[in-house]
Structure 1
Amino acid sequence: MVKFGPNYANQLRKRQGRLGDTWLMDEAVIVTVQGERRYLWRAVDQDDNIIDILVQKRKDKQAATRFFRKMLKHQGWSPRRMVTDKLRSYGAARREIMPSVVHDQDRYSNNRAEASHRHTRQHERQMKGFKSPGQAQRFLSVHSQVHNLFRLGRHLLKACHYRMFRSRAFSTWAQVACAC
């Protein structure tokens, strides 16, 4: 994971293509990084594809700005609309970095982003916490790209289409895993 994981994530990110134009963002607390409180910033698009993840110490404007810059660097374009909770650092960072983006802060709008933390919590429990912030960042970045590849929305597909998409995901994984 440590040696090949970032290479896999970069290869998958290159093959992924353009994601949705509405980004839903949220931050959650990861308590078990060496016993210190860390915040996990996560962005998903309207189709629940994970755009990016960043582990940071704070929830201030500087942290939000760093997260936005990282997302824009990886994506190469800004969204049409961004949905967040009412944390003020989102608005301040958006005004500085992406002033033309529509910012939606309705009460229940970012529930999809909040629900995306569930899988991270499960992995955190199974691993009995993360050893360091760097290890948490590496694991979560790689896991998000692999999750995007294999999350197919089975309940929305017929069985024949699901099998086709699943085999396509495995062939993509084989190409990425052999490319390193």
Structure 2
Amino acid sequence: MGSTSLSYKGHRYPIEVISHCVWLYFRFPLSFRDVEELMLERGVVVSHETVRRWCVKFGQGYANGLRRRRPRPGDKWHLDEVFLKIKGKQKYLWRAVGSDGTVLDILVQNRRDTAAARRFFRRLLKRTRTVPRVVVTDKLRSYGAAHREVMPSVEHRSHKGLNNRAENSHQPTRQRERAMKGFRSVGGAQRFLSGFSGISPHFRPRRHLMTATDYRAEMTARFAIWDQITGVAGRPAAA
């Protein structure tokens, strides 16, 4: 089934071109101009500004579609926060991942105090529509205070060494941050990272645990899902 929540009305480029450009940008550390050049090599003339508009318009919708296809998150969540430099000012990226490493949600905030932790907890519960059995965090005190207020019945494990899964999930973000030479605004960082955290992991199965044959089969299945949520799979075949 194709995507039912996305509208391509008014776009003169085929869905295949739009979805491919969005995939390139969110999957690889490329600039909009890089995507423009790659498409030109394939005979498709599209400006970097058009690619940017497509990523803004469709990126989050694609990410949401992929998230809806995922199984429900496990009962152990790992939470962590890292610094982001935005126009020379220090901001914080809050992230929650499941026990399998799947990113559950991200939120860029100005602070990492109790109010920020509480806001992230509430957003996380609302978006996942489930309550975990255990949350694992580092020793930031804000987590404990927010935990007691928002989810007191959930077990809270606070230990630096237990939270490597969440810390490791920041690595692709750091790679993109360097490629983009930083983010220009809190809103821009939130928009990009929200789409990025939904799209990029879909194309990053744990390859080191698979044979080459299994990896290719898994990626073929994931590309098929991508075609379904972007609407490409619902297009009639070319004559």
Q: TM-score range by the shorter chain?
A: over 0.9
Secondary structure of 1:109 counterpart: helix
2:214 aligns with one of 161, 168, 172: 161
Q: TM-score, normalised by structure 1?
A: 0.94
Shift of 1:86: 0.5
The match for 2:3 is none
Instruction: Write the deviation string for residues 2-42 of structure 1: whole angstroms up to 9, x where unpaired.
Output: 111111121111111212211111110001x1221110001
Alignment-mate amino acid for residue 29 of structure 1: F
Higher mean C-alpha displacement, 156-165 vs 60-69? 156-165
Please state if 1:17 is matched with 2:71. yes
Higher mean C-alpha displacement, 47-56 vs 111-120? 111-120
Secondary structure of 1:12 counterpart: helix
Alignment-mate amino acid for residue 23 of structure 1: W
Shift of 1:129: 0.8
CA distance in structure 1 between the aligned counterparts of 2:160 and 2:61, rounded to whole angstroms: 38
Please state if 1:117 is matched with 2:170. yes
Instruction: Write the deviation string for residues 89-128 of structure 1: whole angstroms up to 9, x where unpaired.
Output: 1111111111111111123001221121111111011001
Share of identical aligned residues, percent? 53
The match for 1:38 is 91
Q: TM-score, normalised by structure 2?
A: 0.72
Aligned length: 178
Normalized per residue, which structure has more strand?
Answer: 1
Secondary structure of 1:55 counterpart: strand
The match for 1:4 is 58
Provide structure 1 residue ranges, at least 5 long, that are not aligned to the other structure: none
CA distance in structure 1 between the aligned counterparts of 2:160 and 2:63, rounded to whole angstroms: 33
The match for 2:81 is 27
Secondary structure of 1:108 counterpart: helix
Alignment-mate amino acid for residue 34 of structure 1: K
**Contact 2:76/2:135 (CA < 8 Å) preserved in 1?**
yes
Shift of 1:69: 1.1
Q: Which stretches of structure 1, 4 residues or longer, exceed 6 Å deviation after superposition?
A: none
| Alignment root-mean-square deviation, CA | 1.2
| 1:108–1:172 Cα change, 3 Å | same
Larger radius of gyration: 2
